[in-house]
Amino acid sequence: MATHTIAIQGVAGAYHDIAARRYFGAAKGDTVEIVECDTFDQLCEAVTNNTASAGMMAIENTIAGSILPNYALLQTYNLSVIGETYVRIQHNLLALPGQSIKDIHTVQAHPMALLQCRDFFAKYPHIHVEEAFDTAGIAKKIRNENISGLAAIAGYLAADLYKLDTLAEGLESNKQNFTRFLAISRTANHVSREFNKASIGFRVSHTSGTLADALAIFKRNGINLTKIQSIPVIGVPYEYTIHVDMTWEDTSDFEQALREFKPEALELKVFGVYKEGEKNIDLTTKHIITVNEPNDPEEPQEVLETAKKQDSGEMTIPAWQNWIPPAPNTKSNYLLISGPCSAETEEQVLETARRIAATGKASVYRAGVWKPRTRAGGFEGHGVKALQWLKRAKEETGLMMAVEVATAQHVEDCLRHGIDILWIGARTTGNPFSVQEIADAARGTDVGMMVKNPISPDLELWMGAMERVYRVGINKLIAIHRGFSTHEKSVYRNNPTWAIPMQFRARLPQMPLINDPSHITGKRALLAGVAQKAIDLGMDGFIIESHIDPDNAWTDAAQQVTPEALAEMLNSLTWQPAYGSVTHDDTSKLDTLRSAIDRLDAEFMDLLAARMNIVREIGEYKKHNNLDVLQPARWEEIIQKRLAQGGKLGLGDGFVREVFSNIHKESLTIQQG
């Protein structure tokens, strides 16, 4: 274990302290010693003159926005960003032990904290609020001077350090209040595959389109710009440095983008390359101290062991049949969830449920209760009123009920009405803040949860959402593959991009994975083809939209079918042994595994054919523009990207190089033909 001296703005127990302990201590088990600084300038000075080994500095907040002076400090001091972490700003009311809220006559806190807790203090008019500079500093003052009747607004860490009682938790009106902190050091990280994010600053000339053209270089190289902030250049009116944060999947993409970008910039500084911080982990921050003190007698050993197991990425997920009864007329290894896109009327909800139940094909009934649409003004659901209809449908048909949720309030409303399964939609999956809010609201319940893949083809976001739900104690989990928005021309509403759910299955083999043909296709005529593909690739079932009058549905009419048409379509499919259904002593296991390879080979051939079609288009372009068929720099770029990707997936460099060398050879032949 190592000891880190970390400079922070504020005193021990402040949110900067929480961030420092989380980043430098909790993840590694190291010890953190805090160097208290009154200002951010002093923080940077402490790191520069070696008083501290590193610093932790706030850079932006989800409510207050960017902290512009701190961006300027990055330019002023020759320090490097080596990492980042996100902390939820959870305000608690702290006071000397033995007191209650009625004993408190004054609260002192930073003006921003007071503003964020305004709704709470409106309930206690007897409490006088006063502005102060440092929230944790007030907590320290209360303890050192033994002041009764005075309370501070601070986090759990301040309460632990200064031995104060927490009279109330979560005073803030907006629970989605997060601050992003940067870890800064005198020594920069070297570019490597370990890192996937960078912060840079640059200036370009003031000519039309220059900035747009410069930024387009990053897009062309597959770089995602997560933050763009203009910073005034001190002493030069109307001159700005552009600060950009960016992420990537392949380090070589970032390196290539920088090579192309440098000639376009008047000035360029890389503030640092680092690993992207996980958003909104440890929402309550209560265990920050105990993470670094595993021998704390108040922390049971079994709790620590559970935390270690969760941190290791292990997930124990029961088969869906253990908590969802298989439908009588569908193969027992396959799950079917069906129902209308939207709960439109009570009659429509009940009649659709009756007719779906009559087919004997479905185990779970789904309906959209909250329906935020892409464009405002459309039908956005009946909310709680529709939950009452679903409750009646459950009582009448015996089907389990599933509803999409996007907020903590949605979760609470569903639980109150006996909804069995909640699902997180594609838009929500892409926002870790919202996923964590939903997971926390479901904490301690026995509800089932389904998580759709995010809109973008981002495997890590999808897996991260599953992990967030699992970490609050919910293991009745199902993943839903509903396709991705890739902006490529396709007959589908959302591109299936089958490789991603297959990677998901490889990473989380125990997780039930079902397919959503409705949202992939957007057209009822294409449902059967996608459903068959999902079966061939070993998925565990489907969630398909069904409506008693699809053509007149209030939302997504084109992709819905009647319950009877759904049953007919399912009967037309060729069913395979479901994934994981073969036991070790089953003599047909070898045949089943070979069938799985056949399915994957077929998918590989489809992808290879699609690649060669694009190669032909490139060949035509080169001929038309008199370009050489062989482009050595482009080939080197491709092979380096694939080697990096192969390394992440456990494929040998020699194997990857040989495969893509053959593909490249065939591509040249096609382009020369």
The secondary structure element, H or E, covering residue 220 is: helix 210-220
Q: Which residues contact 417 (CB under 8 A, 6 or more apart)?
A: 384, 387, 388, 390, 391
The verdict on whether 121 is a catalytic residue reads no
Which long-range CB contacts under 8 A does 569-575 form with residues at least 24 apart? 569/527, 569/528, 569/531, 570/330, 570/336, 570/361, 570/531, 572/528, 573/528, 573/531, 573/532, 573/535, 574/532, 574/535, 575/331, 575/334, 575/535
Would you call 276 helix, strand, or coil by DSSP?
Answer: coil
CA distance 326 to 324: 6
The CB density around residue 278, as the number of other CB atoms within 10 Å, is 16
Half-sphere exposure of 128 (CA within 13 A, CB side): 5
Residue that the structure tokens 């939820």 belong to: 88
Kindly state the DSSP code that residue 446 receives in the 8-state scheme: -
Residue that the structure tokens 């298989």 belong to: 326
Contact 75, 267 (CB under 8 A): no
C-alpha to C-alpha distances, 277 to 69, 180, 182, nearest whole angstrom: 22, 9, 10
Token reading at 322 = 């253990």
Token reading at 490 = 């396709």
CA distance 509 to 317: 10
CA distance 211 to 347: 56
Angle at 74 between CA 70 and CA 78, to 5 degrees: 145
CA distance 591 to 118: 66
The verdict on whether 254 is a catalytic residue reads no
Catalytic residue from among 179, 397, 428, 429: 179
Report DSSP letters for 349-372, one per residue.
HHHHHHHHHHHT--SEEE-BSS--
Catalytic residue from among 40, 120, 178, 181: 181
Contact 545, 518 (CB under 8 A): yes
Nearest 10 degrees: Cα torsion 210, 213, 215, 219: 180
Nearest 10 degrees: Cα torsion 203, 205, 209, 211: 0
Contact 510, 476 (CB under 8 A): no
CA distance 519 to 475: 25
Q: Could you tell me which of 224, 201, 180, 181 has the C-alpha nearest to residue 272? A: 201
Angle at 23 between CA 21 and CA 25, to 5 degrees: 50
Q: Which residues are catalytic?
A: 179, 181
